[in-house]
Amino acid sequence: MSQQSRDDQDALIDALAQTAFVVTAVLGRIGLEHDLSLTQLRMLGVLRDRRLRMSGLASFLGLEKSTLSGLVDRACARGLVERSADPDDRRAVIVALSARGAELAAEVFAEVSEQLLPLLAALGPAEQSRLRALLAGLLASP
Amino acid sequence: MSQQSRDDQDALIDALAQTAFVVTAVLGRIGLEHDLSLTQLRMLGVLRDRRLRMSGLASFLGLEKSTLSGLVDRACARGLVERSADPDDRRAVIVALSARGAELAAEVFAEVSEQLLPLLAALGPAEQSRLRALLAGLLASP
DNA sequence: TATTGTTATACTCTATAACTATA
DNA sequence: TATAGTTATAGAGTATAACAATA
């Protein structure tokens, strides 16, 4: 039993797309309050746990290296990230959060949690666990 | 029991954000193949079931009216949407999909389903139902 | 006067192509 | 020759401010 009709699947896909838009909108709004585009926000998020070369960061974000040059330029000018030389390869440039960038990233991502939490409050604790497990399954699928 | 620890909630928020990025990436990639930005894609999606005035469409998409003017200009130039007069208010402009726009929208959104479905295959039928219900609860919350 | 939409302007994000420096 | 980054250029998306036409 419990067959999935075409309509059921469509409804799920719709729900997923809408959820994506809602979450993205929250990220965008919080970013805006700190003068950060979604891309800058993602960059800060990626750099929270890592130091990367320009090329590595570009492929992480799915951007061309020329795009990243501009992105890093602007973040650098604002003192959020820093470029440094790679001692192993003099062509390469390492990008890392500055102290101020790390501080801002922590602040922003705390706000994100804060603003998504009320959304989650619509679900009970058991349901939250269940949702977490389901999304984990989804994300693991490659 | 079944208390939610801080870490559990953070994990759920992380999963939500990642899901949003994955879904958005799929939408973006399919859009790209048809020379449609995410915003153009959303506009087509909104106009699938509605005819709207410029102002209505702008607020639907969360954009300034001036932004929408350019967006509609470009979509118009490609023959995807059409402007027409509002008989009730000569200041207003009605935007609607053209025949070709409707065709493209149907095609693109069929592709979206096609590409998200395999992701969903990671879950069994009962889990899909459960996820749908949970997301619906989430989206209903505000 | 207030509202609807467009235009002018400016900035960010994005890619492609050409270039420099290093490997 | 090939790779890492930057620069030049161009186009889309975005907002603010000024404007025209209509209500």
Phi-psi region of B62 (alpha: psi -120 to 50; beta: other; left: phi over 0): left
Q: Is B53 helix (H, G, I), strand (E, B) or coil?
A: strand
How far is A137 from chain B, CA to nearest CA, in Å?
A: 7
Return the bridge partners of A117, or none: none
pLDDT exceeding 70 applies to what percent of chain B?
A: 97
Cross-chain CB nearest to B16 (options A23, A25, A125): A23
What is chain B's length?
A: 142
Higher pLDDT, A1 or A125: A125
CA atoms within 13 A on the CB side of A116: 29
pLDDT of the residue at A142: 60
Q: Contact B11/A132, CB-based, under 8 Å? A: yes
Say if CB B104 and CB A86 are below 8 A apart: no
Q: What residues of A are in contact with residue B129 (Cβ under 8 Å)?
A: 2, 4, 8
Question: Which residue is closest, via its CA, to the C1' of C7?
Answer: B66
Q: Which tokens is B24 given?
A: 């958005």
Contact yes or no for A123 and B112 at CB 8 A: no
CATH no., domain B3-140: 1.10.10.10
CA A32, C1' D15: Å apart? Answer: 12
Q: Any idea which residue has 């960061």 for tokens?
A: A57
Model pTM?
A: 0.88
Residues of chain B positioned with their CB less than 8 A from the CB of A115: none
Among chain B residues, CA nearest to A28: B62
User: Nearest CA to B138 among A111, A139, A26?
Assistant: A26
* Residue A56, helix vs strand vs coil: helix
| Residue whose token pair is 């949003």 | B20
List, for residues B48-71, the tens digit of each pLDDT value. 999 999 999 999 999 999 999 999
- Residue A130 makes CB contacts below 8 A (sequence gap 6+) with B130, B134
Residue-wise pLDDT tens digits, A46-102: 999 999 999 999 999 999 999 999 999 999 999 999 999 999 999 999 999 999 999
* pLDDT at residue A11, as a whole number: 86
Beta-carbon contacts below 8 Å between A and B: 148
Q: Considering only CA atoms, name the residue closest to the C1' of nucleotide D12.
A: B37
Give the pLDDT confidence score for residue B142 in this predicted structure: 59
A39 touches strand C (CB under 7 A): yes
Average pLDDT over residues A126-142: 87
* Nearest residue, CA→C1' of D8: A66
- Give the nearest chain B residue to A142 (CA atoms): B119
User: What is the CA B4 to C1' D4 distance in angstroms?
Assistant: 46
